[in-house]
Amino acid sequence: MIGAPTHISDRIKVSFEFFPPKTRENEGALWHTIERLSALQPDFVSVTYGAGGSTQDRTLATLRRLAQRTDLAVAGHLTCVGKTRAEVDEVARDYAAAGIARIVALRGDPPVQDGRYQPHPDGYRDAADLVAGLMRIEDFDISVAAYPEGHPESASLEADLDNLKRKLDAGARRAITQFFFEPETYLRFMDRARAAGITAPIVPGILPVTNFKTVQEFARRCGASIPGWLARTFEGLDEDPATRELIAATVAVDLCLKLRAQGVTDFHIYTLNRAELTLAICHMLGLRSGAARRRHRCQGEETASQTASTSA
């Protein structure tokens, strides 16, 4: 049975990932989502960059608006695939000029038709090289990616951890994991990471599954496994989005609570720009808006006052 933390003061911390809108309708939906979720006071929010920087202009526009119109800590994604150092550095300087002090630094994946990743001859070699370059531009608060089941291009799990350590040693402050669906996947990864001498925070990335076929494709490309129980859970629901969304929230909450029981307190939620789904997950985890927390405190103070009066 799912249960939320008893005390809101013991609440977990969350951060949210958004993607830049493609249409005016999508833009309205995104800002509705941001408005709803900002009340939860996330640790930070990030905006994706698109494959090969394909959404660069829209990402920057979204970041600028977030920085200008909200009090949220904002992180811009930045990749180095297919770009020269000068081109990447220019984007980083644009971020800094817009007041964006945080970056999620990623190597990035080439377009499918281009095959395996090849660094640009005048570009950054990989994510660790990118982090080092960004730190020469500005003292950014940098997050990088971690792969609990190993990056699909890594020679081994040990080699993948070595690469993560290089990124953190280059100046990144934390890592955010690729999505996973079994708590043991993250916990075993953390054991390996700590044994390898990695001490930086590694925040689990939580992906609500609203479209199982799409997630299967994501998993194939990034090396994540899909447990059999999850596949069976979504059987027969291709034409039933409402039920899929209910299951998505339940599965995500169950994963977070199992991790919370093992001492995990921070979660990075891939929101899919979906306000209600993300709010449902956060609510079941004990997160409340600032107004709700104030009401909770007032109710607690009122109860304490009544108890004291009765005792007197």
Q: What is the pLDDT of residues 186-235, one digit of tens each?
A: 999 999 999 999 999 999 999 999 999 999 999 998 989 999 999 999 99
State which of 7-11, 55-59, 110-114, 179-183 shows the largest mean pLDDT.
Answer: 179-183
Distance of CA 274 to the CA centre of its chain: 14
Helices and strands (DSSP H and E) totals, the chain: 11, 9
Task: Give the CATH number of the domain where residue 47 resides.
Answer: 3.20.20.220
3-state secondary structure at position 12: coil
Identify whether 5 is part of a domain: no
Identify whether 304 is part of a domain: yes
- 3 pLDDT tier (thresholds 50, 70, 90): very low
Q: What is the pLDDT of residue 6?
A: 45
Identify whether 169 is part of a domain: yes
Identify whether 296 is part of a domain: yes
Q: What is the pLDDT of residue 291?
A: 52
Query: Whole-model pTM?
Result: 0.88
Q: What is the pLDDT of residues 55-102, one digit of tens each?
A: 788 999 999 999 999 999 999 999 999 899 999 999 999 999 999 999
Cα separation, 115 vs 122, in Å, equals 19
Identify whether 75 is part of a domain: yes
Checking if the pLDDT of 118 tops 90, the result is: no
Cα separation, 107 vs 145, in Å, equals 9
Residues with catalytic roles: 17
Cα separation, 141 vs 44, in Å, equals 11
Number of independent structural domains in the chain: 1
Cα separation, 73 vs 51, in Å, equals 24
Q: What is the pLDDT of residues 261-309, one digit of tens each?
A: 999 999 999 999 999 999 999 999 999 886 555 444 444 545 444 544 4
Identify whether 4 is part of a domain: no
Q: What is the pLDDT of residue 297?
A: 46
